[in-house]
Amino acid sequence: MNKPLVVIFTAIVLDAVGIGLIFPILPSLLSNVTHGGNVAAYIGVMTALYAVMQFIFSPVLGALSDRIGRRPVLLVSLAGAAVNYLMLAFASNLWMLLLGRAIAGLTSANMSVATAYITDISPEDQRARRFGLFNAMFGLGFIVGPVLGGVLGDYWLRLPFIAAALLNGCNLLLAFFVLPESRAPGTKKVDLAALNPLRPLRWVLSEKRLLPVTLMFFILSSTGEAYGTCWALWGNDAFQWNGLWIGLSLGTFGICQTLAQAFLPGPAVKLLGERGAIVTGIAGACLALTVMAFAGQGWMIFAIMPIFALGGIGTPALQSLATRQVEEHQQGQFQGVLASAVSLATIVGPLGFSSLYLLVRAQWPGAIWLSVVVVYVAALPVVLGLRLKAPKPEFAC
């Protein structure tokens, strides 16, 4: 593997580590800073703020990298990430935490620039493999992040952020000395209208047949936000888990989810069809969530993880089905729409589920998972109404 790819993949891993790092320790950090016990609403706001910044600045950084080059944008993003983690490490007020998460969301928008960089330096016949590695690196970082955050956070609440700042600082130095520019800076002016993150959604509203698939992407992404927002709070409330156990549980879920998405979607779609695979994924998630809602001991959560991860087969099946909803010349446009829907879900989901957890926490913390089941069940009519379009036949020459 060449040096530029090593730098890019390292940046991707660190981005994912940064996302997962904060989950196990965020409730304790917020309690420490706000001197309050019920911090669910703050967690929702911080998670949504991160998503808002990512939603707004992904197209901005992508367009800026077209204009001035990929390398300077990536360097500034890596420097911003290091500064963000230092801010979080030494934040003594809530506004500092909010500012730090805003900077984190902005700098995490460099994922679009990293994608463009890989495209620049990869021949067409190698792009699929390299984007597969891109996703694998992100999955690896998301497995490592919660465990690292939990382990270090139990020694000192601020230690995970200092570690992340040092890692990003090393990556910045590596990129500065090793990473070359992948393309000549552009000469065209940036189209300001193209930077509107809501622009892709206008098209899908005029194409009613695409609304069910887009809505399913929004629903599945929204329910996924419940885990990152409520898991640490629920683990502590239900089982008195410390940072280590919260990190281990999230890491175990990440491993099971990665394995499930790597090996099961293909056989599941072949056996059940895309709609059947989506329904099976929803059924597996609902079964696991119901057990979690009523679980009285922590070991039960680890035991249910394989079934919980079965829910991961639904999204790849939906992605496969989505590619057949439009013609080839509209694929890029439609994928932009789906990306916008997912981004909006990462804003709405944390706010909604954190507010709901605030209501049920005192009486029954596990009720939050039943609320996710309700959303899944309500989405079943949408799944059953998805338009199935047969794949184009392949003709032998």
What digits encode the pLDDT tens for the residues 339-384? 778 888 989 999 999 999 999 998 999 999 999 999 999 999 998 8
Residue 80 has pLDDT above 90, yes or no: no
What does the alpha-carbon distance between residue 349 and residue 394 come to, in Å, rounded to a whole number? 41
Q: What is the mean pLDDT of residues 57-74?
A: 78
What's the whole-number mean pLDDT along residues 177-194? 71
Phi/psi for 135 (5° steps) reads -65, -40
pLDDT of 7 higher than 70 = yes
158-164: long-range contacts at Cβ-Cβ below 8 A with a sequence spacing of 24 or more?
158/88, 158/89, 158/90, 160/21, 160/22, 160/25, 161/21, 161/85, 161/86, 161/88, 161/89, 162/85, 162/86, 162/89, 164/14, 164/17, 164/18, 164/21, 164/81, 164/85
- 181-185, 324-328, 338-342, 347-351: which has the highest mean pLDDT? 347-351
pLDDT at residue 86 is higher than 50? yes
Which residue in 51, 31, 56 sits closest to 104, CA to CA?
A: 51
Q: Which amino acid is at 156?
A: W
Per-residue pLDDT band at 312 (split at 50, 70, 90): confident
Distance, in Å, from the CA atom of 20 to the CA atom of 295, rounded to the nearest integer, reads: 24
Mean pLDDT computed over 276-286: 92
Q: What is the pLDDT of residue 260?
A: 81
Per the prediction, the chain carries an average pLDDT of 83
* 202 burial via Cβ count (<10 Å: 0-12, 13-18, 19+): exposed
pLDDT confidence of residue 239: 95
Residues with Cβ within 8 Å of residue 314, at least 6 apart in sequence: 220, 277, 278, 280, 281, 282, 285
Amino acid 357: pLDDT: 95
- Per-residue model confidence as pLDDT tens digits over 23-32: 888 888 888 8
pLDDT at 267 over 70: yes
Quote the tokens at residue 178. Answer: 């090793």
* Contact (CB, 8 A) for 314 and 281: yes
Give the integer Cα–Cα distance in Å for 349 and 259: 25
User: Which position has the token pair 């193209």?
Assistant: 194
**Euclidean distance between CA atoms 4 and 117, whole angstroms:** 9
Per-residue confidence (pLDDT) for residue 198, from 0 to 100: 67
